[in-house]
Amino acid sequence: MNPVELIQLHKDTFTKSEIKIMDYMIDHLDQIASYPLVDFAKMANVSKSALLRFCQKLGYNGYSEFKYEISRYVASGIQESTTDENITSITSIYAASISSMDSFINENEIANLCNLIYNANKIKIFGIAETGFSAEYFESRLASLGVDAEVITYVNRYQEKIAFTKTGDLNIFLSLSSNTEGVNDTIQSSLENKASTALITQNQKALLRNKVDSFIVLPTLNIEKNKFFLDSQAIVLVFVAMVINQLARKLNENT
């Protein structure tokens, strides 16, 4: 995921000050790599601490790492080639993202998640909004294999449900940004309860990525969201199909 996609992924969580930073950055991408933290903060008319917090909120260690990733992004020319409506169709956007899944997800990651599912006493799948639909689909596909799971699609019930999980259980979180209100707190509670925890996201810099038992990053739709009305549910559904097929093979081998 490039830094602009990462910014878009976190957009709904930004404060007014962070929206101001985002807007200035998007309009001046080619300048970021040329200026240190203090100078660019002055240009954007924000404090250097606000700019630093913005970069850290995206998952970067600091401004220097963010600046490096921006320079790579600008040099690649992606921002020009992926937003031209004259040459890019909706089907090609989806096709490109789905076809890139093999480079994002390796077989061992899928096998690890399948092992967690196979060995779990109880399974809960958490998702809201578009990932809520994906969570329900995931549950129905697991049911077709005889694997029972509970779906939670209301964030205000996350903590209530997670309180009853324990060692031997599996909690699967579908969260494209992994920064949705309540998600990280619930993942932390899952870890504290010693339950196996899986996070499927599009954010490779998710805060709890190094703590969960299964961390899988899905590709994004490589286009600015204000150009087309697209969502990532198709990508999640293909991922679910990948898991179900490998899990089916595992179940057959063990019967």
Q: Is the pLDDT of residue 80 over 60?
A: no
Return d(Cα 132, Cα 15) in angstroms, integer: 25
User: At 143, is the secondary structure helix, strand, or coil?
Assistant: helix
Return d(Cα 67, Cα 61) in angstroms, integer: 11
Return d(Cα 212, Cα 209) in angstroms, integer: 6
Strand partners, 201: 217
Please report the sign of the dihedral spanned by the C-alpha atoms of residue 83, residue 86, residue 90, residue 96: negative
For 148-193, how does the pLDDT look when each residue is reduced to its tens digit (9 = 90+)? 999 999 989 999 999 999 999 999 999 988 877 689 999 999 999 9
- CA proximity to 141, closest of 212, 238, 252, 253: 238
User: What is the pTM (predicted TM-score) of this model?
Assistant: 0.71
Choose the most confident range, by mean pLDDT, from 31-35, 70-74, 98-102, 164-168. Answer: 164-168
For 24-67, how does the pLDDT look when each residue is reduced to its tens digit (9 = 90+)? 998 888 888 788 899 899 988 999 999 999 998 888 888 988 88
User: At 149, is the secondary structure helix, strand, or coil?
Assistant: coil
Return d(Cα 77, Cα 149) in angstroms, integer: 44
pLDDT of residue 76: 63
- Domains of the chain from N-terminus onward: 3-81 (1.10.10.10), 95-253 (3.40.50.10490)
Q: What's CA 169's distance to the chain center, in Å?
A: 23
Please report the sign of the dihedral spanned by the C-alpha atoms of residue 24, residue 175, residue 133, residue 128: negative
pLDDT of residue 152: 97
- Tokens 């599009």 sit at which residue? 202
Q: Is the pLDDT of residue 90 over 80?
A: no
